[in-house]
Amino acid sequence: MSQASPRGALASAVASVAGALAALSCCLPLGPFLLAAGSAGASAFLLSLQPYLIAFSAVMLAAGFVQAFRARQCTRRRRALNLAVLVCSTALVAAMLFGYVPASAPAGQPALAAFHLDSFRQAFNAAADHTRVVVLLSPT
């Protein structure tokens, strides 16, 4: 059986980081920068790909671990580098999967709230003296 290349482990780990960063960019305020550059379409593209990028990151992370553990000809320095990249990758993917940070609302708006029909009806009626607009949207 051929031994796994340490370069492959490193590539998998780097690919995982790249996938993680691409997916994470949907949570980080990259969208506004893209919008500022007139690239709203690019932001929507990343948002719609987010689950797939996360899945890809997880698969690449697993492959990186397998290759890192199978590699036996690594120098100590390269093993340390692989380990560092894998740890960073794992931390990033874990942060994406389990550390979801609620969206921060734009300045002057209340924070994004969980919807409860009765509470919403009360808020709707409380503003009955004014014109109201109701919009239903999908995040992606």
Partner 1 sequence: MLRDVRDPNLRVFVIWEPVLITDWHAPGTAAVERLPDTRVTQFWDSGRSLSQSIRHGRIVWDYVALFPAGVHWEAAYPPPQFSGAPVVRVIDDFRRRLTE
Chain residues that interact with partner 1, rule: CB under 8 A? 26-32, 35, 43, 47-51, 100, 102-110, 112-115, 117, 120-121, 123-125, 127-140
Burial of residue 89 (number of CB atoms within 10 Å: 0-12, 13-18, 19+): buried
Q: What is the closest distance, in whole angstroms, from the C-beta atom of residue 44 to partner 1 in the complex?
A: 9
Assign 37 to helix, strand or coil.
coil
Give the amino acid at 85.
V
Secondary structure (3-state) at 24: helix
Query: Minimum distance between the CB of residue 130 and partner 1, rounded to whole angstroms?
Result: 4
Minimum distance from residue 93 beta carbon to partner 1 (Å): 15
